[in-house]
């Protein structure tokens, strides 16, 4: 039971005893006591004055006195302008610490919730490598999945690979025209980067052709539609959907190059999936459902042949579902994919981790699915997140001005290696052991910098800031963890055993603050789950690390002469490391033993 829940029940008991009124938990308002006043939690007593028929100050004193006399956990109290500040006894906090130490997986739900969540993230296109924007998506999706697991939910982590469509055909046409048979193997290039280069090459040629047509008298709009290379890509898409063998063979070959490259990047990032879906396998189901909706009169067809949904009654516009030539759009395949997933898994919620530029898309997806008669349409949730920007501006895949995920991770590992070598902290480690630490620090820096920001906010990414060993960074938290582990190793080497429940001593203010911080973890995990926000856990880990460092600066641990106090501080340090490791683990961040 949390301190908040415990005190809430005690306040209800006090109100009943003093004023003969039975209230519920929602009638009790608690706040953390402000730092300038003595106390752990503050009770807002103004709502109780209607029952006491006394001033807020008198009411607070009566309730405070009852708590002090009748509740053993309450040591004392004070009243500030009608607010009741309650001081909880040291014995209670020590027992909290002991209980935490006995838990096998502290911060995790003790029982399964019985709910199933499917979380889709990553969703790359097979015409380019993963970039910085995908990094936020992957880290956010993986972390939200782990947080929901920690809250007791069954989670299915899935990826939908966008492996069909006009953008894929653009890379294919460019490769046919300009590659001269080159392959990733013949050029020594990672497969996704190789194919991405031809996507950029297409755009370069497309712009040149558009300019040439405009010089011949076409308007810009006409030129963009009539550029020969675009028309070729559109024809290739029609051939692909018609099952043309040569087109499908080229598509499969180039997709295989990209998917092999993706696997390497995912492995480096520590990203996994329970199931991978491919748009090429789901879009037909979507098309069938759209045609059924058309036959049922739910959708309508224009004279040109395209199929649409009328959403004006829902405050939106008309949404295209099939083009004039019968080919599918993103919405079509999303309908088919959602249909297959809910039939297979019957989830309580399907969560799409996709950038905020797609807010409209997912609003429409839910509405169209509802129009088609699917009762699961309301279970669709879009976890919308802000874009990642660089100091020099936005990234553009077509122009090749992106920060590739592979390049960024390599740069981060190089920086971690350089920093660590300068500090000389890994002397005595083998090269393999040192490289493992560099990787953990680099990815810890990257993941923490991305995830500490509220998902809804657009963020500016600065690699140099992220890997700083001071301030609100992953390496700072990892370093604090390694500091604690070093103390615990020395205690073990000295034969000192830490036994929960065998500690009876007073507490300093900093010791009590640390226990309070540790005790907050389950509530933070729940809040992070309810809000789909890893940032709450990231900030918790940072605040706890900062609090421990202040404690470590002010108090001796191993050199403390009083055995009870020493053992208390060792148990505190141990549980700080457990809480930090749990919180950071839910962000996908590994904790090195040395740095």
> CA-to-CA distance for 332 and 290, rounded, in angstroms?
7
Mean pLDDT of 390-411: 68
> CA-to-CA distance for 320 and 28, rounded, in angstroms?
52
Share of the chain above pLDDT 70, in %: 97
Q: Is the pLDDT of residue 472 over 60?
A: yes
> CA-to-CA distance for 332 and 320, rounded, in angstroms?
9
Mean pLDDT of 520-544: 97
**Rounded to a whole number, what is the distance in angstroms from the first to the last CA of the chain?**
36
Q: How far is CA 423 from CA 407, 427, 466, 468, 576, in A?
A: 25, 10, 18, 13, 25
Asked if 169 and 240 count as a contact pair (C-beta separation under 8 A), the reply is yes
- State the DSSP H helix or E strand holding residue 12, giving kind and residue range, or none if neither: helix 3-19
| Reported confidence tier of residue 392, pLDDT bands at 50, 70, 90 | low
Q: Is the pLDDT of residue 425 over 90?
A: no
Asked if 307 and 300 count as a contact pair (C-beta separation under 8 A), the reply is yes
pTM score of the predicted model: 0.90
SS3 state of residue 218: coil
Point out the least confidently predicted range of 14-18, 168-172, 319-323, 426-430: 426-430
| Reported confidence tier of residue 398, pLDDT bands at 50, 70, 90 | very low
Share of the chain above pLDDT 90, in %: 83
| Other CB atoms within 10 A of residue 261 CB | 23
pLDDT, residue 486, reads 95
pLDDT top residue among 279 and 120: 120
| Reported confidence tier of residue 401, pLDDT bands at 50, 70, 90 | low
| Other CB atoms within 10 A of residue 263 CB | 12
| Reported confidence tier of residue 428, pLDDT bands at 50, 70, 90 | confident
Residue matched to tokens 């809480």: 579
| Reported confidence tier of residue 234, pLDDT bands at 50, 70, 90 | very high
Asked if 542 and 587 count as a contact pair (C-beta separation under 8 A), the reply is no
Q: How far is CA 325 from CA 59, 79, 170, 291, 293, in A?
A: 76, 75, 18, 14, 18
> CA-to-CA distance for 164 and 83, rounded, in angstroms?
63
Mean pLDDT of 322-340: 91
Mark 458-487 as b/e (b = at least 16 C-beta within 10 Å).
ebebebeebbbbeebbbbbbbbbbbbbbeb
Closest CA to 195 of 209, 218, 178, 213: 178
What is the residue-averaged pLDDT of the chain? 93
> CA-to-CA distance for 194 and 174, rounded, in angstroms?
12
The length of the chain, given as a count of residues: 595
Q: Is the pLDDT of residue 79 over 60?
A: yes
What is the torsional sign of CA 93, 99, 102, 104?
negative
The dihedrals phi and psi of 469, each to the nearest 5 degrees, come to -85, 0
Q: Is the pLDDT of residue 142 over 80?
A: yes
SS3 state of residue 328: strand
pLDDT top residue among 173 and 401: 173
| Reported confidence tier of residue 241, pLDDT bands at 50, 70, 90 | confident
Please give the structure tokens belonging to residue 408.
């960024």
Mean pLDDT of 321-350: 92
pLDDT, residue 34, reads 92
Q: Is the pLDDT of residue 33 over 60?
A: yes
pLDDT, residue 253, reads 97
């Amino acid at each position: 039971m949390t301190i908040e829940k415990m005190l809430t029940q005690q306040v209800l008991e006090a109100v009943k005893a003093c004023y003969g009124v039975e209230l519920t938990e929602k009638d009790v308002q608690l706040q953390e006591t402000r730092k300038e006043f003595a106390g752990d939690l503050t009770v807002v007593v103004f709502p109780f004055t209607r029952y006491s028929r006394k001033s807020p100050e008198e009411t607070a004193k009566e309730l405070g006195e009852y708590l002090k006399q009748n509740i053993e956990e309450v040591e004392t109290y004070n009243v500030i302008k009608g607010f009741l500040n309650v001081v909880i006894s040291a014995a209670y906090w020590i027992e909290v610490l002991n209980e935490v130490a006995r838990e096998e997986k502290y911060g995790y739900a003790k029982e399964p919730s019985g709910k199933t969540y499917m979380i889709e993230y990553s969703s790359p296109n097979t015409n380019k490598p993963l970039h910085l924007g995908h990094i936020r998506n992957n880290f956010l999706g993986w972390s939200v999945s782990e947080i929901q697991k920690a809250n007791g939910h069954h989670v299915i982590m899935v990826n939908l690979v966008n492996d069909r469509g006009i953008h894929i055909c653009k890379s294919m046409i460019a490769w046919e025209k300009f590659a001269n048979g080159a392959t990733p193997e013949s050029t020594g290039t990672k497969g996704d980067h190789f194919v991405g280069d031809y996507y950029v090459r297409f755009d370069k040629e497309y712009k040149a052709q558009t300019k040439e047509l405009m010089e011949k008298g076409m308007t810009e709009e006409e030129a963009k539609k009539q550029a020969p290379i675009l028309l070729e890509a559109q024809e290739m898409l029609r051939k692909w959907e018609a099952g043309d063998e040569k087109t499908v063979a080229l598509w499969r070959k180039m997709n295989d190059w990209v998917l092999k490259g993706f696997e390497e990047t995912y492995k480096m990032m520590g990203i996994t999936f329970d199931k991978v879906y491919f748009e090429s396998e789901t879009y037909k189901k979507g098309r069938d459902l759209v045609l059924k909706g058309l036959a049922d009169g739910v959708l309508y067809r224009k004279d040109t042949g395209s199929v649409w949904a009328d959403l004006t009654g829902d405050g939106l516009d008309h949404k295209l579902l099939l083009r004039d030539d019968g080919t599918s759009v993103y919405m079509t395949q999303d309908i088919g994919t959602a249909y297959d997933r809910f039939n297979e898994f019957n989830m309580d919620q399907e969560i799409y981790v996709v950038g905020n530029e797609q807010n409209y898309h997912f609003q429409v997806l839910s509405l169209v699915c509802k129009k088609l008669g699917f009762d699961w349409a309301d279970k669709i949730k879009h976890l919308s997140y802000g874009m990642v920007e660089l100091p020099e501006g936005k990234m553009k895949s077509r122009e090749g001005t992106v920060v590739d995920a592979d390049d960024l991770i390599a740069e981060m590992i190089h920086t971690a290696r350089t920093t660590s070598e300068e500090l000389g902290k890994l002397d005595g480690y083998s090269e393999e052991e040192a490289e493992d630490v560099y990787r953990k620090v680099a990815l810890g820096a990257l993941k923490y910098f991305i995830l500490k920001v509220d998902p809804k906010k657009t963020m500016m990414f600065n690699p140099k800031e992220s890997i700083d060993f001071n301030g609100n960074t992953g390496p700072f938290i990892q370093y604090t963890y390694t500091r604690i582990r070093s103390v615990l190793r020395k205690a073990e080497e000295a034969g000192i055993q830490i036994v929960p429940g065998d500690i009876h001593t007073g507490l300093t203010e900093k010791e009590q603050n640390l226990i309070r911080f540790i005790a907050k973890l389950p509530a933070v995990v729940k809040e992070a789950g309810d809000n789909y926000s890893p940032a709450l856990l990231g900030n918790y880990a940072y605040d706890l690390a900062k609090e421990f460092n202040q404690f470590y600066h002010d108090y001796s641990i191993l050199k403390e002469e009083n055995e009870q106090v020493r053992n208390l501080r060792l148990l505190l340090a141990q549980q700080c490391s457990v809480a930090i490791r749990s919180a950071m683990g839910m962000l996908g961040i590994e904790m090195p033993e040395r740095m």
